[in-house]
């Protein structure tokens, strides 16, 4: 019997994903080359990237005007990449655990950060309520699932400013109304793929509003313009992510996952 792994991540992947990825390590798409040595600009891998982005949009019912990116650096790089691209004068954060604390620390390097509420006083064992999101903030950041402390925001909140969410560990666990978010991101190693690739769902119109210089690799527009191919992407994890996306679709999609999870 297959062993299970209840770690916060890297976590268990579908057998479908592991089997197909293992086969591609030996011979990818009949090329006679391993997925680990294929050119990321080959037509075979470009097709993988295109299908992965398309399935991401299909499964989450992502509206027009959003881009799906596959990047390196883990969700932790996003803690800085988000303020680099979105922070003008002020940012608002909800502090619900270790990951939100790290995100707050990175944002504070860019200016005023208002922590609208925190559950740190009770070791993050609850999600704060009855707080006010400042309407003069450039964005409001939340962490939907706090793996270390075990709390989860299980609904899509309304926000008067662009809503940014770290969904590293609960993406694809329930249907979400993507239109309520300006940006959703996460490391893939919880629910999607091996560590090494980070997904970003971003509403295109929130970009281009800061005056600072943004380093090329930290600029979301760079990766939107190049279809996540500005530099060599994490090829094997992207391929594995595509297998998981296929598996999700074959097994009834996100509504079926929510039912199983509940």
The reply to whether 37 falls in a domain is yes
Per the CB < 8 A criterion, the answer to whether 106 and 130 are in contact is no
The reply to whether 102 falls in a domain is yes
Give me the number of domains the chain comprises.
Answer: 1
pLDDT score of 4: 85
Q: Active site includes 99?
A: yes
The single residue of 138, 166, 170, 246 carrying the catalytic annotation is 166
- 35 phi and psi angles, rounded to 5 deg: -60, -25
pLDDT score of 201: 98
Give the model confidence (pLDDT) of 80-121 as tens digits. 999 999 999 999 999 999 999 999 999 999 999 999 999 999
Q: Pick from 192, 186, 196, 226: which is nearest to 82 by CA? A: 186
The single residue of 99, 138, 170, 246 carrying the catalytic annotation is 99
pLDDT score of 176: 96
The reply to whether 34 falls in a domain is yes
CATH number for position 147: 3.40.640.10
pLDDT score of 256: 96
The reply to whether 182 falls in a domain is yes
The reply to whether 257 falls in a domain is no
pLDDT score of 50: 96
Q: Active site includes 130?
A: no
Calculate mean pLDDT across residues 157-171: 96
Q: How many other C-beta atoms can be found within 10 angstroms of the C-beta atom of residue 184?
A: 24
pLDDT of residue 231 exceeding 80: yes
Give the model confidence (pLDDT) of 8-38 as tens digits. 778 889 999 999 999 999 999 999 999 999 9
The reply to whether 1 falls in a domain is no
The single residue of 138, 170, 190, 246 carrying the catalytic annotation is 190
Q: Active site includes 129?
A: no
Q: Which two tokens stand for residue 56?
A: 């991401």
Output the average pLDDT for the chain.
Answer: 95
Calculate mean pLDDT across residues 175-204: 95
pLDDT of residue 5 exceeding 90: no
Per the CB < 8 A criterion, the answer to whether 235 and 41 are in contact is no
pLDDT score of 10: 87
Domain that holds residue 209: 17-250
The SS3 of residue 260 is: helix
Query: In percent, how much of the chain has pLDDT > 70?
Result: 100
Calculate mean pLDDT across residues 140-154: 92
pLDDT score of 102: 96
Give the model confidence (pLDDT) of 48-82 as tens digits. 999 999 999 999 999 999 999 999 999 999 999 99
The reply to whether 3 falls in a domain is no
The reply to whether 261 falls in a domain is no
Per the CB < 8 A criterion, the answer to whether 209 and 227 are in contact is no
């Amino acid at each position: 019997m297959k062993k299970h792994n209840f770690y916060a991540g890297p976590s268990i992947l579908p057998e479908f994903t592991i089997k197909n990825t293992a086969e591609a390590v030996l011979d990818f798409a009949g090329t006679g080359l391993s997925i680990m040595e294929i050119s990321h600009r080959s037509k075979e891998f470009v097709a993988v990237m295109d299908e992965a982005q398309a399935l991401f949009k299909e499964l989450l019912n992502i509206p027009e005007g959003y881009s799906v990116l596959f990047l390196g650096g883990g969700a932790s790089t996003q803690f800085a990449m988000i303020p680099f691209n979105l922070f003008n004068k002020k940012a608002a954060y909800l502090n619900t655990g270790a990951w939100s604390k790290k995100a707050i620390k990175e944002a504070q390097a860019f200016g005023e950060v208002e922590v609208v509420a925190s559950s740190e006083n009770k070791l993050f064992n609850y999600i704060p309520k009855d707080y006010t999101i400042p309407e003069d903030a450039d964005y409001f950041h939340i962490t939907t699932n706090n793996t270390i402390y075990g709390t989860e925001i299980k609904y899509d909140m309304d926000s008067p400013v662009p809503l940014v969410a770290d969904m590293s560990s609960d993406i694809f666990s329930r249907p979400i109304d993507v239109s309520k978010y300006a940006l959703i991101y996460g490391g893939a190693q919880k629910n999607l793929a091996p560590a090494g690739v980070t997904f970003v769902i971003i509403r295109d119109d929130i970009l281009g509003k800061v005056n600072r210089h943004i380093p090329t690799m930290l600029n979301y527009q760079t990766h939107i313009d190049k279809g996540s191919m500005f530099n060599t992407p994490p090829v094997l994890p992207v391929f594995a992510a595509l297998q998981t996306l296929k598996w999700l679709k074959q097994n009834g999609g996100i509504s079926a996952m929510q039912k199983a999870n509940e």
